[in-house]
A and B are shown apart, each in its own frame.
Chain A
């Protein structure tokens, strides 16, 4: 915020006098930024239409002072007796010519605006469909000719998305298991059913929570990284360089990433399930339920279809998170802020996708009787 001009000693001053020829505004002192700031509001009040401004007592004038003089001239004043050295500078600014500004952006009528938004939504959908098509074509190409896959790059992304994510997935799933066990043990204890906490936590983790929480962590960690990395490459024209080298960005950049995360997501989910159940079992130990008993309860409750269903979801979630991260990166606009926007959109879109597809999986599993 600008400093209060009243806090500064007077540097410049303004005085309105009247002589035989009419009103004259006398500007004096140092017209630098602080001096101009002191008198500018008063000048705006005093200058409306034709008036003479005597600037003979101006002792210094920089860009701010010149802007002040420009302002009073534009309001109809005539500046007189400005020392020659400053008059030269003022003349360079062409003070009688108003500023050229771009025409104001007029909001389109409602229907046109609606149409534009619909068109933008359609273009996004088209872009997503085209991206899936390109990705499918790249997968088909790699299946026909596996040497087209950049194996080193894929393994590197497996390490980044999988091995490097182990600590955070382990920590979150352990805490999730502990929290679930504690929260469910309190009401179930009233019925003497603490033993079944293991069943509840096991089923919830394997069918629902482990795939979901792993995917959310992947979205925040890996999907965002993909969007930022590919977005920066787009801004730096590295994507254009790939295209002109005859290398399809989807095969070169996207496929290794999507493949890596699709493979790593179920593995991380298995880890999350095991560690989450272990965390719950530790809680149940405090209720005098041995670890082996908890494990037995989980084994009895969680069926093969539960386990496969959870892993299927995790695989799909991994694919979706990686694909969305890469798509957002590839659709990055220009500038540093565009990379930030892409990263945000990647995370938000991925989380929305997770919730929606999780709901679809729930409906599908219901009808399949899983």
Chain B
């Protein structure tokens, strides 16, 4: 594209700050109400995420986790309220300004959402082709190194359908990392994966967060993943249509007074 974006809103943080964190606000969700038609799913939700933080959004099925994620990343427009990414208003942004904000974060969807007609390498190269002035050999090298970061470099020329579920999710993360975003959103990264692959994915998230200083927002209800990766967890509940509790997962498990939180962390047992 000719309107290459040299400075996305949220570029890869300076590793200096990653090594010696100086957190600032990466995401601010301000009184957001999410609704589909007359069905209000979440009401007046507010939260902030600091740079370098791994925030997990959790809750039972149907509580609005994925809905909240879709509203934060701009796939859905909030009924009311605003979403700010790196201080910029995504909710009201249009055109080039919106494109600039979108280039500042990456999203890995639950199914991977890789483009089936392209190889894994082409999937990762696509955002580089659209957003950067790099020439073709440079784009390919950047993409191959992204795949190396997620241990998929030898599968670069495979089609997504030739990869296992865990590999597809890692490839999706590589594509989300292509533009060196400062923020990565992951929707149910562990869903459907065996414990070993799920553990490897958790390790990858932690590594990317610690080494690159990335901010992660992860939607999941896999307890093992939550304990492994989360700096902080936000629990949504459909009865309150919003945030029921938040804090470190271990604190929520051990000290929560609300029975709904206790039941969640104890797999239904009170």
Interface residues of A (CB under 8 A from B): 1-5, 8, 11, 32-34, 36-37, 40-41, 60, 62-64, 66-68, 70-71, 85-86, 88-89, 92-94, 99-102, 333-338
Contact = CB atoms under 8 A, between A and B. Distances in A.
Contacts of A64: 132, 134, 138, 142, 180
Interface in B119-154: 128-129, 131-135, 138-139, 141-142, 144-146, 148-149, 153-154
B153 A99 contact: yes
16 contacts: A1-B129, A2-B4, A2-B139, A33-B180, A34-B6, A34-B133, A40-B135, A62-B180, A63-B145, A64-B142, A67-B141, A71-B138, A85-B19, A100-B154, A102-B156, A337-B116
Given A4-B133, A335-B160, A37 B155 contact: no
Interface of B: 1-4, 6-7, 11-12, 14-16, 18-19, 116-117, 128-129, 131-135, 138-139, 141-142, 144-146, 148-149, 153-161, 177-180, 211-212
Q: Which 5 A-B pairs have the closest CB atoms?
A: A335-B116, A334-B161, A33-B132, A3-B4, A337-B117
B145 A66 contact: yes
A85 B144 contact: no
Given A64-B138, A100-B153, A337-B117, A5 B133 contact: yes
B134 A88 contact: no
A5 B145 CA distance: 22
Q: Identify which of A11, A33, A100 gathers the most chain B CB atoms within 10 Å of its CB.
A: A33
Contacts of A92: 149, 211
Chain A, interface SS category: helix
B135 to A, nearest CB: 6
B3 A3 contact: yes
Contacts of B155: 102
Nearest to A93: B145
Contacts of B15: 85-86, 88-89
A8 B6 contact: yes
Q: Which of A92, A94, A333 has the most B CB atoms < 10 Å from its CB? A: A92
Nearest to A6: B133
A336 B6 contact: no
Contacts of B7: 32
Contacts of B156: 101-102
Nearest to B141: A67
B177 A63 contact: yes
A88 B116 contact: no
A34 B4 contact: yes
A280 to B, nearest CB: 46
Contacts of A336: 116-117
Given A66-B145, A100-B154, A37 B180 contact: no
A93 B19 contact: no
Contacts of B141: 67, 70-71, 99
B209 to A, nearest CB: 13
A335 B145 contact: no
Contacts of B158: 102
Nearest to B139: A2
B180 A41 contact: no
